[in-house]
Amino acid sequence: MIAMAHYTQNREDLTRQKAKKFNLWLGMIGMFMMFAALSSGFIVYTAGGADRGIKTLLPDAFIYSTLLIVLSSVTMQLAYAAAKRTAFGKQKLLLIVTILLGLGFFAMQVHAWGILTARGVVFVNSNASQSFIYVFTGMHLAHIFAGILVLVRALVGRIRNIPQVSNVFRMDLATLFWHFLGILWIYIYVFLLLNQ
């Protein structure tokens, strides 16, 4: 009887985990659609006239941001692999490095906004193409903030020594979401580069 109750609980946990992963996929699809809609809006707006382009070079800080997010994806994947191998010390270290790289990405994006502002590219102006830079990067930064919270939750779970099944599941979701954010940034950066 006790074994049966334990088995039922495991099935319930598995069902709950599948639902959480499905919800994450739905959320990522929604985010992708939102950025696709923003891209379409940008293209339609700039097609309305030759004077409607970004008309400024993107700051080099965006290149450094890209390097940071790519490197953080590598450290996140290594942290996930360490979690699956039960190399908990390595998992914690790599998670901390990933969080620091994520914070560095965040700071570099804010620095890029400062550079743009110094060049006269402000959020509210007569050229909405320039405003789109802030909309794209600002929306992405909001998701980066959420991603950092997910990483911190995974780290706290490991520090609190949660069961290995839960640890690997948290790391699986965190890794998937973090890679998605990295790919999304590369899309945004390339899109802005092609339209500057």
Instruction: State how far the Cα of 193 lies from the Cα of 166, in Å rounded to an integer.
Output: 40
Contact status, residue 174 vs residue 82, Cβ threshold 8 Å: no
pLDDT at 7: 37
Instruction: State how far the Cα of 191 lies from the Cα of 187, in Å rounded to an integer.
Output: 6
From the DSSP assignment, how many helices (H) and strands (E) are in the chain? 5, 0
Mean pLDDT over each residue of the chain, to the nearest integer: 88
In the chain, the amino acid numbered 47 is A
Q: What is the pTM of this model?
A: 0.86
Mean pLDDT to the nearest integer, 178-187: 96
Q: What is the CA 27 to chain-centroid distance, rounded?
A: 12
CA atoms within 13 A on the CB side of 98: 35
Instruction: State how far the Cα of 151 lies from the Cα of 174, in Å rounded to an integer.
Output: 6
Mean pLDDT to the nearest integer, 51-65: 82
pLDDT digits (tens, 9 = 90+) for 67-122: 999 999 999 999 999 999 999 999 999 999 999 999 999 999 999 999 999 988 77
The 10 Å Cβ neighbour count of residue 64 is 16
pLDDT above 50 (res 3): no
pLDDT above 70 (res 50): no
